[in-house]
Amino acid sequence: MTHYRTLIDGHIAAWVNALPKGGLYAPMAYLMDLPAKRVRPALVILGCELFGGRAENVLDEALGIELFHNFTLMHDDIMDAAPLRRGKPTVHEKWNVNTAILSGDALLVKAYQLMAKRADVARIFSKHALEVCEGQQLDMDFEQRSDVTTVDYTEMIRLKTAVLLACSLRVGAAIAGANTEDSDRIGAFGEHTGLAFQLRDDLLDAFGDTAKTGKQQGGDLRAGKKTFLLIHGLELSAANKRNELHEELAKPVDERDVPRMLLALEELGVHKEAERAIQAEDRKAAEALEAIGVPEDRKAPLLALSAQLMARSY
């Protein structure tokens, strides 16, 4: 992965250095300079190489996807009133909301400058970009709703997180000339991998080792955030006539007994259900990748990346 990382980081650094100074460009440079895993650009390259294309031919699109991802972060942070992003002040905190809106808009245009060099790539990108917006809308809607099911939740994270991984792979595949069936397969691999990743993220928040995750254990639970765990926990509480979760959620946020909530989730079997759901997504991802008729050794980097995403311990 070090080879891809060097290529991607070099391309990003060159782009940041070429930006005009100040104005609406300064927040773009700030956000793009924060440390990040660059998973999406790597997927563009891996999607391309899987079908025999060359990494050098998709570097612009790899960068474009990362610009789009950062555009969503800049605007989502406004909507979520988030003070920090990767440990640093968010753009709307460091500058102001108007600058974050406008710089984000310009960043989306900059993303399109790279994603619309080919009409077929632009088409794939726009379709998924719209789904990402729909996912963010659902996420905001859920905060006001009390009837969200795990099915609703899964659809939300599919749109908000998983489809952009699928998009990255599809764009790489399109540039390498993959056919429609293979494009759908690599898209399915990305989507299921993304779902497994997000579900694992939810699980780590609750049951992860604070020393390893770097986050307060059960932060989402304390905040009453409707993740898979809490939604399914509430569903099973109703079926099993248990009240711990409802009781804790009725308290003010800082009086909630997180260990009691975690125990209830374990006893209700939510922890195991989440593990099963993750494994099911992982299996679907693996099946989609298996169905692609290219030499097996070309699949190795994708399997390594997905294993790396999954291996985060707790």
Structure-derived torsion over alpha carbons of residues 51, 54, 59, 61, reported in degrees to the nearest 10? -30
Q: Can you tell me the distance from the alpha carbon of 202 to that of 244, in angstroms, rounded to the nearest whole number?
A: 20
Structure-derived torsion over alpha carbons of residues 41, 32, 195, 180, reported in degrees to the nearest 10? -30
The DSSP element (H or E) to which 177 belongs, if any, is: none
Q: Give the one residue of 16, 29, 133, 286 binding a copy of itself; rule: CB under 8 A.
A: 133
Of 80 and 287, nearer to a copy of itself (C-beta) is 80
Q: Can you tell me the distance from the alpha carbon of 113 to that of 107, in angstroms, rounded to the nearest whole number?
A: 10
Of 4-12, 29-37, 73-81, 161-169, the segment contacting a copy of itself by CB under 8 A is 73-81
Site mask for a copy of itself (CB under 8 A), range 8-47, x = bound:
---------------xx-----------------------
- Select from 38, 288, 70, 279 the least CA-distant residue to 173: 288
- 113 C-beta neighbours (distance < 10 Å), count: 11
Q: Give the one residue of 102, 286, 294, 310 binding a copy of itself; rule: CB under 8 A.
A: 102
Q: Give the one residue of 5, 123, 145, 272 binding a copy of itself; rule: CB under 8 A.
A: 123
Task: Confirm or reject binding of residue 82 to a copy of itself (CB under 8 A).
Answer: no
Q: Can you tell me the distance from the alpha carbon of 304 to that of 282, in angstroms, rounded to the nearest whole number?
A: 13
Task: Confirm or reject binding of residue 78 to a copy of itself (CB under 8 A).
Answer: yes
Of 39 and 132, nearer to a copy of itself (C-beta) is 132
Q: Give the one residue of 6, 113, 216, 308 binding a copy of itself; rule: CB under 8 A.
A: 113
Helix axes 163-175, 180-207, angle to 10 degrees: 150
Q: Give the one residue of 60, 93, 105, 244 binding a copy of itself; rule: CB under 8 A.
A: 105
Cβ contact 54:179 at 8 Å: no
Site mask for a copy of itself (CB under 8 A), range 177-216, x = bound:
----------------------------------------
Cβ contact 291:185 at 8 Å: yes
Minimum Å distance from CB 93 to a copy of itself? 16
Task: Confirm or reject binding of residue 112 to a copy of itself (CB under 8 A).
Answer: yes
Strands 88-89 and 84-85: antiparallel
Q: Give the one residue of 42, 129, 261, 270 binding a copy of itself; rule: CB under 8 A.
A: 129
Q: Which residues of the shown chain bind a copy of itself in the complex (CB under 8 A)?
A: 23-24, 71, 75, 78-79, 98-99, 101-102, 104-106, 108-110, 112-113, 115-119, 122-123, 126, 129-130, 133-134, 136-137, 140-141
